[in-house]
Amino acid sequence: MDLCTVNDLIDRIGERAVIQLTDDSTPPTAVNVSRCEQVISESSEVVKSRLAGRYKNVEALETTPLLKMLTLDIAAYLLYSRRNQGVIENVRQRYEDALKHLDCIKLNEATPPNIGKAQQEYVTNKTRSDRVFSKSLWERY
């Protein structure tokens, strides 16, 4: 499941920019929807792979406005990188910021609202025969 749509991408960077970045004909005339969907799919995979370290089932995560925004920033970077034209530094900075924000989410330094429904489970190998280190035992050392 993708975290945004082609219309979200058009709303984010503008229809004219999407046409120029996706249509290879001269002059560019229309949005290449299949190319947009491919870039959106790739950027959704980047987001999901970054969050897989924290969330067990990333496919079950709800699309939140934050995840949509981060996915769109990555998709815009991929489109601009494809053409290597325009104000790429601003787009590159937003891409790097999106990846840093995803790392913060993965490291549990930030939690987007409504994303915590897929709770992570912790598994231990503790058994009844394991030794318990009580306070009185520690005081002897």
89-128 pLDDT tens trace? 777 888 888 888 888 877 877 766 555 544 445 556 667 6
Residue 50 lies in a domain: yes
User: Which tokens go with 34?
Assistant: 């299949």
Residue 16 lies in a domain: yes
The dihedral built from the CA positions of residue 122, 108, 4 and 36, taken in this order, carries a sign that is negative
User: Which tokens go with 16?
Assistant: 């004219």
Taking Cα atoms as reference points, which of 48, 50, 65 lies closest to residue 107?
A: 50
pLDDT of res. 41: 93
Residue 93 lies in a domain: yes
pLDDT of res. 118: 46
Residue 120 lies in a domain: yes
Taking Cα atoms as reference points, which of 12, 67, 10, 58 lies closest to residue 35?
A: 10
Confidence grade of residue 85 (pLDDT, cut at 50, 70, 90): low
Count of domains forming the chain: 1
Residue 10 lies in a domain: yes
Residue 1 lies in a domain: no
Quote the domain boundaries for residue 56. 6-139
Given a contact cutoff of 8 angstroms between Cβ atoms, the answer to whether 114 and 68 are in contact is no
